[in-house]
Amino acid sequence: MRKIIHADCDCFYASVEMRDDPNLRGKPIAVGGSSQRRGVISTCNYEARRFGVRSAMATAHAVRLCPDLVVVPGNMKKYREVSQSIREIFLEYTDRIEPLSLDEAYLDVSDSAHCQGSATLIAEEIRARVREQLHITISAGVAPNKFLAKVASDWNKPDGLFVIRPDQVEAFVHQLAVRKIHGVGRVTAEKLHNMGIQTCADLRRFSKLDLARSFGKFGQRLYELARGIDERGVSSDRRRKSASVEHTFSEDIDGLEQWQRELARLYERLTERLQKMDDRYRISGAFVKVKYHDFTSMSQERANKSCRISEFRHLLGLCWEKRSDPIRLLGVGVKLIDLQDDGGPLQYELWPEEKKTVAPVREPL
């Protein structure tokens, strides 16, 4: 039986800024780009959330919702330093840590001898040390698997702890709303609700085959999670599944020719990023993403092993054909396969011996 802790800092960037500037405390604040430059909110504190401000929201819209909102520019160097300090605390209890971001991680403390082996006491001690040493708060969930630990960490936010013991799993999952399942977004939730599914108890009425027909591969995942089953281990070596770059423009760009010019610039950045990666990855697909002036998004992707710029141009052209309105954001990226995760011996060389990288084949821009 695993003992998993999901640790999640509360409003991480905003908490660090409030810690370092006491004048910000008690005010609605957000960390993000300027509303004058079409910035986006990275995170905000709970005072701002009461006005409807959320992460990934345009700063200009956030200021309209909350006129007194204080927008602070981000300082990633500082946030990384705080994140590293948190990780050092984690490492005193276990080296089986799976970071999800700077402010969030899974810890497997199944074999930890600290706190008499109690995952609950370990989580409490970690939270206390983060508060005392770093002066920010962290919420935690404790459960027998990753799925339930992540759900639990959100249960008593902010600055809370929630524990799901093995003998409580059945009752807890039975009443859990399906919208709480990681991976169930707005569209999937709506589809589930249209099927009369509101809770995991409702979900259990459907067979694995039924769910696979309706949701594809994710259907099997839904079938297992509705029963509290999650066999994923905590991996200290999380590998990439994609690599991408994007840019938000100061003014909307219009016309396919201008889209393609910006695409060429992003392609250069993507290539530089891929050249820094090791040879355990293989490119499996290309994708482009556009966000229109009204904040709706569209993406196109296709399986591809070389990802030449011509492939991105083709995908961007498909976006243009579907909707040719001005865009405020453009992104390009590749899907990646981790050959070590896939298992089995490699049967071929991905790249010539003199240049083993996952960089796409370059074409003249």
Q: Is 341 flagged in the annotation as binding? A: no
Residue 184: what pLDDT? 86
| Edge-to-edge strand list for the sheet holding 297-303 | 242-253, 327-338, 281-292, 297-303
CA distance 313 to 260: 7
Question: What CATH architecture does domain 169-225 belong to?
Answer: Orthogonal Bundle (1.10)
| Residue 338 clears pLDDT 90, i.e. is over it | no
CA distance 159 to 161: 7
| Residue 361 clears pLDDT 60, i.e. is over it | no
CA distance 235 to 355: 29
Q: Angle at CA 54, nearest 5°, toward 295 and 251?
A: 35
Residues 104, 234 contacting (CB under 8 angstroms): no
> According to CATH, what is the number of the domain 1-164?
3.30.70.270
Nearest to 153 by CA among 180, 134, 115, 118: 180
Q: Is 111 flagged in the annotation as binding? A: no
Residue 365's pLDDT band (cuts 50, 70, 90): very low
134-152 residue pLDDT tens: 999 999 999 999 999 999 9
Residue 278: what pLDDT? 61
| Residue 353 clears pLDDT 60, i.e. is over it | no
Could you state, in order of their start, the residue ranges of all structural domains in the chain? 1-164, 169-225, 242-342
3-state SS string for 261-291: HHHHHHHHHHHHHHHCCCCCEEEEEEEEEEE
Q: How far is CA 119 from CA 147, 164, 183, 205, 288, in A?
A: 16, 11, 26, 33, 43
Residue 238's pLDDT band (cuts 50, 70, 90): low
Residue 215's pLDDT band (cuts 50, 70, 90): confident
Give the CATH H-level superfamily of domain 242-342: DNA polymerase, Y-family, little finger domain (3.30.1490.100)
| Residue 343 clears pLDDT 50, i.e. is over it | no
| Edge-to-edge strand list for the sheet holding 104-108 | 97-101, 104-108, 4-9, 138-143, 161-163
Domains 1-164 and 242-342 share a fold: no
Percent of the chain past pLDDT 70, that is, above it, reads 90
Residue 357: what pLDDT? 37
Look over the chain and give the mean of its residue pLDDT values, rounded to a whole number: 87
Tokens of 125: 């001690």
According to DSSP, the residues that pair with 285 across neighbouring strands are 303, 335
Overall average pLDDT of the 250-267 stretch: 89
Q: Catalytic amino acids? A: 104
Neighbours of 48 (CB within 10 A): 25
pTM above 0.75, yes or no: no
